[in-house]
């Protein structure tokens, strides 16, 4: 049997601090501190605690060069555990699963730090609303009390008299559109969204507008948003809830065909499923259309191999799509939102995404705004709610 180390692994010396009353009663500070070494290997997607021997052995093995297992002096149990956990890879059939995951990561050309960040910042089963309640940070006033004052709202680098004042240009219809953009947290599930409005928003935000065919297998799309390397890695997955003529359910949007591709329904009722995906943010649960921004990392990393900026570029693209979605929705008289507080693991399972190749980056949505503001929206100039009331 030949072995080598997995392609990417980082070690973290982690300290866990827990309150222990007995320590307080015996004159201590009441805190029990435990330190342990964790191996963070992105192809595994979960941390593995390792001891000193295991850590040392992983430092001895090459990630690139295969060696015969008998050629190194290592404790058999230590090696067997590392093989079982997938930190050491072998060419034996019984370790094929771990070898395939490791090779899959290598083939995707992730920057190793980005792969690790991505793998270990995914959520599963998180209830962000409860977490805010528990930390007493539900409102802006409560946040100020608990967290203290934030850094100043906008930086000033010159004295008043040194500032070069710019003219305020008279607003056009574009300024009006921008001013009516506000994150919507009050959707009206009693109204359905017209099919054509739904199609128009998707066409403006996600559709391929033209293409450049370099060869039959190398095609670049032109869209209404910029994209690093022109690669447009972002796929659009949909949870359609209240749209005329579209059966509620999960879909993939095919950007060249401007078409919906139906996917298997989730095990739960759709609204409950949306709640789980947006980490229990009930103010988004009635959105007529929920959009998962799902980057294909392998598409961008095909060009930007092991690139220090690749992952950042993909995250930036989420912002471009989201702002375009907000404006397209606002133009259609609708509200829109984005949230980064999502349960990626459940999203990957529901949409059949392998996180090494294709991720869950953010969730957006759009639909009719309701008549009553039950959850706060940021509209200090009353450009949205005044219109709704008047």
Least separation, in Å, of the C-beta of 315 and ligand FMN?
9
> Could you identify the residue written with the tokens 């912002």?
319
Distance CA 79, CA 77 (A): 5
Residues whose CB is less than 8 angstroms from the CB of residue 307 and which lie 6 or more positions away in sequence, other chains included = 111, 301
| Residue 129 or 263 with smaller CB distance to ligand FMN | 129
CA atoms within 13 A on the CB side of 301: 23
| Residue 178 or 265 with smaller CB distance to ligand FMN | 178
Least separation, in Å, of the C-beta of 229 and ligand FMN?
22
| Residue 153 or 217 with smaller CB distance to ligand FMN | 153
Least separation, in Å, of the C-beta of 233 and ligand FMN?
17
Contact 184/377 with Cβ under 8 angstroms?
Answer: yes
> Could you identify the residue written with the tokens 């008279």?
170
Least separation, in Å, of the C-beta of 264 and ligand FMN?
27
- 3-class secondary structure, 257: coil
| Residue 90 or 330 with smaller CB distance to ligand FMN | 330
| Residue 284 or 304 with smaller CB distance to ligand FMN | 284
| Residue 123 or 220 with smaller CB distance to ligand FMN | 123
Least separation, in Å, of the C-beta of 330 and ligand FMN?
11
Quote the tokens at residue 205: 């935000």
Distance CA 390, CA 386 (A): 6
Per 3-state DSSP, the chain is made up of helix, strand and coil in percentages (nearest 5) of 35, 20, 40
Quote the tokens at residue 249: 């359910």
Q: Which of 333, 304, 335, 331 is nearest to 317 (CA)?
A: 304
Distance CA 71, CA 213 (A): 51
Least separation, in Å, of the C-beta of 362 and ligand FMN?
6
| Residue 246 or 341 with smaller CB distance to ligand FMN | 341
Helical H runs in the chain? 21-25, 52-60, 76-85, 96-108, 112-119, 128-134, 140-147, 173-179, 195-206, 270-277, 297-303, 310-331, 344-351, 385-389
Buried b (16+ CB within 10 A) or exposed e, 206-221: bbbeeeeeeeeeeeeb
Distance CA 180, CA 175 (A): 9
| Residue 74 or 205 with smaller CB distance to ligand FMN | 205
Least separation, in Å, of the C-beta of 185 and ligand FMN?
6
Helix axes 52-60, 76-85, angle to 10 degrees: 80
| Residue 6 or 321 with smaller CB distance to ligand FMN | 321
Least separation, in Å, of the C-beta of 201 and ligand FMN?
17
Cα pseudo-dihedral 246, 201, 355, 318, rounded to 10: -160
CA atoms within 13 A on the CB side of 213: 4
Least separation, in Å, of the C-beta of 197 and ligand FMN?
21
Interface residue list for ligand FMN (CB under 6 A)? 182-183, 185, 281, 338-341, 378
| Residue 248 or 340 with smaller CB distance to ligand FMN | 340
Least separation, in Å, of the C-beta of 54 and ligand FMN?
38
């Amino acid at each position: 049997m030949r072995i080598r180390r997995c392609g990417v692994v980082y070690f973290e010396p982690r300290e866990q601090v827990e309150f222990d009353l007995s320590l307080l009663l015996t004159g201590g500070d009441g805190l029990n501190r435990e330190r342990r070494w964790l191996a963070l290997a992105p192809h595994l997607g979960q941390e593995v605690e390792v001891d000193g021997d295991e850590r040392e052995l992983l430092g001895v093995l090459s990630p690139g060069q295969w060696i015969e297992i008998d050629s190194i002096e290592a404790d058999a149990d230590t090696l067997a555990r590392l093989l079982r956990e997938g930190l050491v890879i072998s060419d034996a059939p019984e370790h094929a699963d771990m070898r395939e995951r490791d090779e899959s990561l290598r083939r995707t050309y992730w920057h190793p730090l980005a792969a690790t960040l991505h793998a270990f910042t995914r959520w599963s089963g998180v209830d962000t609303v409860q977490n805010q309640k528990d930390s007493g940070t539900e409102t802006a006033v409560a946040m100020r009390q608990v967290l203290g004052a934030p850094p100043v709202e906008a930086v000033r680098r010159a004295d008043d008299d040194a500032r070069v004042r710019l003219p305020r240009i008279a607003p056009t219809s574009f300024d009006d559109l921008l001013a009516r953009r506000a994150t919507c947290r009050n959707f009206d599930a009693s109204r359905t969204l017209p099919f054509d409005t739904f199609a128009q928003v998707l066409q403006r935000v996600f559709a391929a507008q033209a293409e450049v065919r370099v060869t039959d297998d190398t095609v670049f799309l032109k869209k209404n948003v910029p994209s690093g390397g022109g690669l447009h890695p972002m796929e659009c997955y949909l949870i359609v809830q209240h749209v005329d003529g579209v059966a509620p359910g999960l879909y993939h949007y095919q950007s060249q065909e401007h078409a919906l591709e139906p996917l298997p329904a989730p095990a739960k009722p759709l609204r409950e499923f949306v709640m789980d995906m947006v980490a229990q943010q009930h103010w988004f649960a009635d959105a007529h259309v929920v959009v998962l921004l799902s980057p294909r990392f392998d598409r961008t990393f095909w060009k930007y191999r092991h690139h220090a900026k690749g992952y950042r570029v993909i995250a930036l693209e989420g912002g471009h799509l989201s702002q375009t979605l907000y404006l397209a929705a606002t133009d259609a008289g609708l509200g829109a939102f984005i949230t980064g507080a999502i349960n990626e693991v459940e999203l990957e399972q529901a949409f059949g995404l392998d996180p090494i190749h294709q991720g869950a980056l953010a969730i957006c949505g759009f639909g009719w705004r309701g008549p009553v503001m039950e959850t706060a929206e940021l509209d200090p100039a009353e450009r949205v709610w005044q219109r709704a009331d008047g």
